[in-house]
Amino acid sequence: MQALKLHADWAPRPEYLPSEQELETRNIRNAHMVWHNPRIELGPAPEPELEADQVRVQVAAVGICGSDMHMYEADSDGYMIYPGYVTAPNILGHEFAGRVVETGNAVRDLREGDLVAVEEIQWCGECISCRKGFVNHCEYMGEIGFTIPGAMAEYIAVRERYCWKLDELADALGSAEEALVMGAMGEPTGVSYQGLFNRTGTWLPGHHVVIFGAGPIGLAAEALSIAGGACQVIVIDPSASRRAIAMRMGASRVLDPSAVDLNEALLDLTRGRGVDYVVECAGYADRTLQPLESCLAVNATLIDIGMGGERPTLPIVTYKQRGVQLAGSLGHAGKGVFQNVIRLMTAGRIDMRQMVSERLPLDEAVAAFRRLESREDAKIILLPG
């Protein structure tokens, strides 16, 4: 089969000492500190073997994520930008949906021909974190497209328990193909759902919401905020084309961060009351969350989803004085996130196809990555099938 593979050179920075486990597995906790000269190529790869509790999925749609770009791109020293777990070489792709074409003999509920979206986080269900309900922080997790082979390929094998059926969505849309494209958006939408609704329990309809970053995660947060009853959704992004997409998807206002004083602008837009919910999806908390002080409402919530950027210096005293909550959010699994996202799509409350700027065959994957370097597109979907 054809697959898009990530390659990089093992070159730990002088100040980074890989653990014994990292040396043995080459599964690096912070790829930014080890993997040098990242690069991608499309070529042949062996079809995945099927285990008893797995299904073989023919990949129909897979999105290119900001994390994929951060694994592909390098900093000024030539090191991979992405700061999380990465194994190289590896097949990229973690936002995907497809058709079940084969089932293992221990699979109970899925059948050949079923349409499924699949969780990227492969949680174990047995470690302390999983048993406490924090499956996004599983101590032994694999990550599709990061540490285990991904879905920018013709086929992938995944355990049944990570799959969510899309038949109701296909019926609602009247098209299996469109349901599969929407299903590929389940992962990034789930990341935003987890941050907005599960991390702190402080979400309330009627909030003034600010979202930094109009990439896929930010646009998903926008759609979910509107569906969740926000009274105002303000999206901030330096890209004019992405701001236009945010407006098309229903943003109350869009702002260019280089053209305004953030505190003044947000106070003005909230009639001096301040913002209730801030969602960081850009990966630059030092430029987005760090400057925010006077614009924060009492009991405001800050959710940090974006990965990357320099470490921010945050105004902790202001947070104490105004009762501000700050939470990091990672992942999309557990608590019925995928189920609820698919239900919202099926009900027509959110339509994530609005952010898709292009659908391309897998043969054009390398060109698609190069195109995304400009950050003008919101989402490019590859169609391996």
70 a catalytic residue: yes
Report the distance separating Cα 212 and Cα 251, nearest Å.
12
What b/e sequence results for 159-189 when a residue is b if at least 16 CB atoms lie within 10 Å of its CB, and e otherwise? bbebbbbbeebbebbeebeebbbbbbbbbbb
SS3 at position 80: strand
SS3 at position 175: coil
67 a catalytic residue: yes
Provide the 10 A C-beta neighbour count for residue 3: 27
Distances (CA, A) of 374 to 75, 78, 241, 242, 245: 15, 19, 11, 11, 15
Of the residues 7, 19, 67, 175, only one is catalytic, namely: 67
Report the distance separating Cα 188 and Cα 243, nearest Å.
18
Helices first, then strands: H and E counts in the chain: 12, 20
**Alpha-carbon Rg of the chain, whole angstroms?**
20
Contacts of 331 (CB under 8 A, 6+ apart): 121, 135, 136, 137, 191, 194
**Residue 291: what are its φ and ψ, rounded to 5°?**
-75, -15
Of the residues 32, 70, 94, 332, only one is catalytic, namely: 70
Q: Tokens representing 160?
A: 């049944």
Q: Is cis: bond before 89, omega within 30 of 0?
A: yes
Q: Tokens representing 86?
A: 């990465």
Report the distance separating Cα 74 and Cα 357, nearest Å.
25
- Indicate which residues carry an active-site annotation: 67, 70
